[in-house]
Every structure is written in C-alpha cells, then in structure tokens.
Amino acid sequence: MQEFISLSQAQELVAGHVPRLPPKPFPLARLAGLVAAQELTAQVAAPSVTASQMDGYAVRAADLAQASEQHPVRLEVKGMVGAGEAPPAAVGPGHALRVTTGAPLPPGADAVLPNEYTRAEPGAVLCLASTQPGRNLLAAGADVASGQVVLRPGQRLWPGRVGLLAAAGLSEALAYPRPRVALLATGREVKAPGQPLPPGAVYASNLVSLAAWLSMHGLEHESRTADDVADQIAAAAGEMLAGCDALLTSGGAWTSERDLVVNALRGLGLDLIFRRVRLGPGKGVSFGLLSGKPVFCLPGGPPSNEAAFLLLALPGLLRLAGHPRPGLPLVPACLGQAVQGRVDWTQVLHGRLEPGRDLPTFQPLSYQGRLQSMARSQGLLLLPEGLRFLEAGARVMVLKLGLAFGED
C-alpha cells in the first residue's frame, strides 16, 4: 500500500488495477452508449443495389442531352418501381421508368430526373432539363461495402454507429456492460433528502451529487447511509457490493476517531492500493480492491469529495465499462487572473469559461461557499505540485466539466 502519493501516481494505479467488466453480446437496440469489445465487418453492402435518391424518372442521360424547358424531350413511361421492388422493365432508348426514393435503378437507365424537372402526360413524361450519368443515384455499397470493417474494439457505440451496424447486416455486438455502483455515505449527521433534519445534521449532498454524475454517464447505482459505527459500515458495504461492481464511500476517510471507513473495509478483506493523495482539495481519498471490485473511499468535504471523484473514481468506473482513455476533456483557455499554487500538492481550482478573443477565458471563482462555487463551476484548473504562481493571461488547459468518456 502506498501513502500520500502524487495525483499522477494515483491515476496510474487506478488505471493499472481496475479491470474491465467481462464483455457480453447485446442486441442493437441496447448498444447505445456502450463500448465495443470486438471488431465487426459488414455482412452485406449498403445499399445492396444502386438506388434512386429522388422521386422522379429513371432515364438514359443520352436521351436528354438537348432537353430544356423550351425544348422538352418526350419519353414513353414503361411502368413504375418503388423501394424494395424489382423493376418491371428495362429502360431502352426513348423510354423512362417512374421511380420513388430508394427504388433500384432499372437496367438500361443511368440517371434519375427529379419530378420538378418533368411534366407528366398520359403514358409519357416531358423532360424539361438535361442530366448526366450517375445523377441522383446512390451507388451499391456507397454507405458500406461488404466485408468492410464497421466496428473496432474500444469504439463508443453512438446511435449513428449502431445504425451503421444495422445497415451492414448485423443484429448484435459484443460490448462491455455498464457497471452498477454502490454509493455509501457515512456519518451520524448525514440524512437522506426528504427526511427530517435534526439540529446539527446535514442532507447528503455528496451522495446526491455523485448519483447525478453517475446518472449523467449512464451508470446504474444504489445509495445508502450509515452511522459512524464500524460494524454498520462494514455490513452496509458488504451487502451493497454483493450486488454491485464497485463501491464508493463518502466521508469517514481522514484520521479522526470517527473516520472508520478504511479500517472497516479492511476488516472485510479490502486490499488497499493507496491511501491519501497529494491533492487539494481531495487528499483524503483511498483506493483498493475488495473481492476484485474497485473501492474508492472519498473524503466528506464537498470540494474534496468532488475532486477525488472526478479525477480518480469516475475514470476508474468508466474503465470498468471499457472506455480506453476516460477522463474529463481538456480545453485550452487563457487565465483570467493570477492564481497561486502549492509546493506540496496539486491544487484544484474551480472556474467559469467565458468567451475570449482567441481562446475562452478561465475565470477562477471567488469563494462564495463550497456548494455555491461547485454549482457555478464549468471547469477545473489543476496547478501541479511545485507551481507557486501563474500570471494572468497565461495559456492553460482546463478540465471541462461534463461527460468524461475520453476519445475513441
């Protein structure tokens, strides 16, 4: 077990110890938001035939070389074909076939003239414009060719990618399931929202905020509170973790006589990987494995709880779900005012991203209460250990608060 390590060391240990959940097959309708665990190739071409992209007439472009509104060309209409139907006839010289969008191109035709450039007559059509071979056609295999790779391991399955799999003739894919996360807040003073609030008690804002972050990332969770009693903490953690893939505790992570969480979990067999990180706020965080499942013990102070969750726990949970490089996105910005760092830890600053001349401006938030600052924040600026001062106007990289899936 390592103690009081740097943020980068802690992040490396989390990445190195959190396993991905075993992948399993999912039908297309349940794939959105998951991470692919296999390479897939198209089983069919899409479209399977060259098809019309417009409602109009399948024609031979050569027949309409001189067509115009002043000199329309009359073609005999030999029938009609719609999407998914077989053409009733070929298109010969001086002939046309009426088509709908998606209809297969009839033999002999090489273009489609849209309705707006035609005038229908009984058994015929007057063509009011010329066209060229290939006009208004979608070639067979234009969207995807048979045998083409349509999915690679580690890619997120957004709706458009799932639609591509369907077009490629696939009905399911192997993907990593989303983990179910147990949230346990400790402290006699912590009450669930909606309960009576005795003097000195507080509502479990950390628990609700963590649940909100998990919900935003599509992760299922269950929540519970426990008093500062080691046996109660251990019993609640064991029961919850039995039905979940990871455990996050909130509070009881420091060194007072009421900070019982880590030792209570050790009694259950917690293999502690690290305890406390040189991170401010957030230094009370610990990480370990219990029955092979990741456990993050987060500090109880709201800013510390949030920083430890966003920088360590959330990336770990998303690794369980198969995301190859999870983490909040970094955006370049210009520092709006001078800031001071710490020699002995990485300093986390809340701020807002405001429009700037060339880059957005990161404006550190003045202290207006912990929860008020967290509620107003749009990004986090990390000042690494040893950086004492950063002047206004400096170019910085800001962690933008939002989805932390990372890049494909």
The C-alpha torsion from 90 through 94 and 98 to 100, rounded to 10°, is: 80
- Lowest average pLDDT, out of 89-93, 242-246, 254-258, 348-352, goes to 254-258
Q: Evaluate if residue 273 carries a pLDDT over 70.
A: yes
> Distance between CA atoms of 125 and 127, rounded to whole angstroms?
6
Same structural domain for residues 193 and 294?
yes
Same structural domain for residues 221 and 310?
yes
Measured CA distances, 407 to 35, 52, 230, 341 (Å): 12, 36, 41, 29
CA 163 from chain centre, in angstroms, equals: 17
Same structural domain for residues 85 and 153?
no
Question: pTM of this prediction?
Answer: 0.88
| Residues of the domain holding 258 | 2-22+177-321
Report the domain count for the chain. 4
| Tally of CA atoms within 13 A in the half-sphere of 37 that contains its CB | 20
> Distance between CA atoms of 17 and 312, rounded to whole angstroms?
12
Same structural domain for residues 220 and 272?
yes
Query: In what helix (H) or strand (E) does residue 236 lie, and over which residues does it extend?
Result: helix 230-242
Same structural domain for residues 283 and 348?
no
> Distance between CA atoms of 99 and 106, rounded to whole angstroms?
9
Amino acid, single-letter form, for residue 172: E
Instruction: Convert the pLDDT of each residue in 114-167 to its tens digit.
Output: 999 999 999 999 999 999 999 999 999 999 999 999 999 999 999 999 999 999
Same structural domain for residues 288 and 257?
yes
* Residue in the structure block whose two tokens are 């103690």: 3
At residue 381, the pLDDT reads 97
Residue 364 pairs in a beta bridge with 351
Same structural domain for residues 188 and 314?
yes
What is the CATH number for 279?
A: 3.40.980.10
Measured CA distances, 344 to 7, 49, 95, 317 (Å): 11, 66, 83, 28
Instruction: Convert the pLDDT of each residue in 88-117 to its tens digit.
Output: 999 999 999 999 999 999 999 999 999 999
